[in-house]
Amino acid sequence: MPAMPATPAHRAPVLPKHAYRLLNHGPTVLVSAAHGGRRNVMAAAWAMPLDFEPPKVAVVIDKSTFTRGLVEGSGRFALNLPCAAQADLAFTVGNTHGGPAGVGDKFAHYGIEAFEGSTPGLPLVAGCVAWLECRLLPEPHVQQAYDLFLGEVVAAQADERVFSQGRWHFDGHPGLRTLHHVSGGHFVLPQDAVQGRLIDRQHLHDTGGTPCT
């Protein structure tokens, strides 16, 4: 594999207790992995946080993917969060096959820039807005039966222009909004944010709301 360049600009560490917030709004992710001198990246729409401390995630990786073998072989994978400017990239790597049976090294084939985080040899996708490096938590039955892979987040970073102090803030950066796949390459983007506040039962009654129980 070619050497990976230095860390790109705007990346800042994310506290472990905030790592789950990088995924909590349900974005499409790019799963990257490397093993035995080979690397690959694929798109996954089904990924979610599982725990706070230590932070854990889950992602569905189909049996037919080349990436799956790299994850199982290395015991490592990364979840990269692409942004609006990378919609074509996300759709392309999600609809092409890597490895000997496909286009080969997708990073090289499509000119995708990769860099190395804190996990040696694990390729991270440049241009994304967040990166979670994960250690595979082997659950052979779950993986085989449900294609569900669990990982412990060992390092997380995010683009400080849109994520800082544990929160996403996309205002002023439309091209850096995360992608949320609907179907057939159609994505939606997060829009305006609102801040919820605690209200009392009387206020709910006056406004016709219903308290959660």
pLDDT tens-digit series, residues 38-85: 999 999 999 999 998 899 999 999 999 999 999 999 999 999 999 999
For residue 101, give Cα distances in angstroms to 27, 97, 104, 106, 156: 28, 7, 7, 12, 32
Torsion 33-76-132-155 (CA) sign: negative
At 25 the pLDDT is 72
Asked whether residue 24 is assigned to any structural domain, the reply reads yes
Q: Domain of 34?
A: 11-207
Question: Is 2 among the domain residues?
Answer: no
pLDDT at residue 207, rounded to an integer: 61
pLDDT at 204: 58
Neighbour-count burial of 62, counting CB atoms closer than 10 A to its CB (0-12 exposed, 13-18 middle, 19+ buried): exposed
Compute the distance between CA of residue 134 and CA of residue 156 in angstroms, rounded to an integer. Answer: 9
CATH number at residue 58: 2.30.110.10
pLDDT of residue 185: 87
Listed residue (113, 111, 109) closest to 126, CA to CA: 113
User: What is the per-residue pLDDT for 125?
Assistant: 98
Q: In which band, very low, low, confident or very high, does the pLDDT at 157 lie, cut at 50, 70 and 90?
A: very high
Count Cα atoms within 13 angstroms, Cβ side, for 147.
11
Rounded Cα gap, residues 133 and 77, in angstroms: 6
pTM of the model: 0.85
Instruction: Specify the number of domains making up the chain.
Output: 1
- What confidence tier does 17 reach under pLDDT thresholds 50, 70, 90? confident
> Beta-carbon neighbour count of residue 95 at 10 Å?
11
Give a yes or no: residue 5 inside a domain: no
pLDDT band at 18, cuts 50/70/90? Answer: confident
**What does the pLDDT read at residue 206?**
64
Quote the pLDDT of residue 106: 97
Kindly state whether residue 6 falls inside one of the protein's structural domains: no
